Amino acid sequence: MTEFFAMGGYAVFLWPAYLVTLIAIVANVLIARRAHDGAKQEARRRFDLEDEGSTT
């Protein structure tokens, strides 16, 4: 196991490279979801405001 993580001496380059990639993969999922959720919320708020405006 230790041998695996040592990666033949390349550990200091290899694992940061994998970490950077992992961060990008996770971050882009979160960014996309947040954008979609945010857009949905904003639309809901706007419709609520419109409905209030039309009833009063």
Partner 1 sequence: MNWTWFHRLGSPPHIYRIAGTLTPWFAWPAGLLIAAALYGGLVLAPPDYQQGEGFRILYVHAPSAWLAVMIYGVMASAAAVGLIWRMKVAHAVAASCAGVGAWFTAVSLLTGMLWGKPMWGTYWVWDPRLTAQLILLFLYLGYMGLRAGIDDLGRADKASAVLAIVGVVNIPIIRYSVEWWNSIHQAPSVMKMDRPSMPFDMLAPLLMMLLGFTLYFAAVMLVRLRAEILRRERTASWIREVLR
Residue for token digits 């708020």? 45
Q: Are 27 and 34 in contact (CB under 8 A)?
A: no
Candidate list 1, 2, 9, 56; residue touching partner 1; CB under 8 A: 9
Q: Give me the least distance between CB of 56 and partner 1, in Å please.
A: 19
| 45 interacts with partner 1 by CB under 8 A | no
Q: Is 20 in the site for partner 1 (CB under 8 A)?
A: yes
CA dihedral 30, 33, 39, 44 (to 10 degrees): -120
Of residues 23 through 42, those in contact with partner 1 by CB under 8 A are: 24-25, 27-29, 31-33, 35-36, 38-40, 42
Secondary structure letter of residue 10 according to DSSP: T
